[in-house]
Amino acid sequence: MKKLLLFVVLILIVSVPAAFSQFRFEIGASAPLAVGYISGSGGDFGNVVSTIEDEGIIPIPNMGLFLQANLGPIKIGVGAKVQSIILYSIAYPVAQVEIALGPLAIDASLGGYYFGYYAIGDVYGVESADILLPDLSVWLGIGKKNAFRIGGGAIGVISSSFDLSAVPFVAYGGIKIVLQ
């Protein structure tokens, strides 16, 4: 009897959130605008910014697929993100929170630890790495459903032990289409 009760509870834990969730698909491109790091003694952009200015803006295609719960202006989801440099693509699991303030959306996500990769020449696999990728961005929705978005943010790299003594980051600008 206890096993049956435990089984029913587990089914409810999995099925109830899924019944009130929806899929979210986003596709877009982001271009690095600045690179630097933040440490306990402040931040430094160094000579990397001038390198980006010399090389120009290179758009990086990306997409994401999430299962999210709609809690009014707040959306919480889990899924996967893919970043691509055409010849090399990397995918990783991610948890995301979005706060919608009219046409303005603030996204915060944390992903990583497991990375799937694919490169030209049939090089592919899945690796675990001791890094997490926090991402904070602000997007302005355009159109009736705010599906087309333009904005920017910053993505960082931290260890999974959350050592925040030095956090490298890339600030970016981008566009994306969000289908919910």
Beta strands in 57-147 (DSSP E): 60-71, 74-84, 88-101, 104-119, 123-142
Average pLDDT of the residues of the chain: 86
Q: How many independent structural domains does the chain possess?
A: 1
Q: 0.85 exceeded by the pTM? A: no
pLDDT at 82 over 50: yes
For residues 93 and 129, give the distance between their C-alpha atoms in angstroms, rounded to a whole number. Answer: 12
pLDDT band at 41 (very low <50, low <70, confident <90, very high): low
141: CB partners within 8 A, 6+ apart? 103, 104, 105, 147, 148, 149, 178
Domain assignment of residue 44, given as a range:
21-179
Q: Is residue 52 part of a domain?
A: yes
pLDDT per residue over 65-80, tens digit each? 999 998 889 999 999 9
What is the pLDDT at residue 14?
A: 63
Q: Is residue 11 part of a domain?
A: no
Q: Is residue 14 part of a domain?
A: no
Residue 162 sits in a domain of what CATH number?
2.40.160
pLDDT per residue over 135-175, tens digit each? 999 999 999 999 999 999 999 999 888 877 788 888 999 99
Is-contact 142 150, C-beta < 8 A? yes
What is the pLDDT at residue 63?
A: 96
Q: Is residue 10 part of a domain?
A: no
> What SS3 class is residue 116?
strand
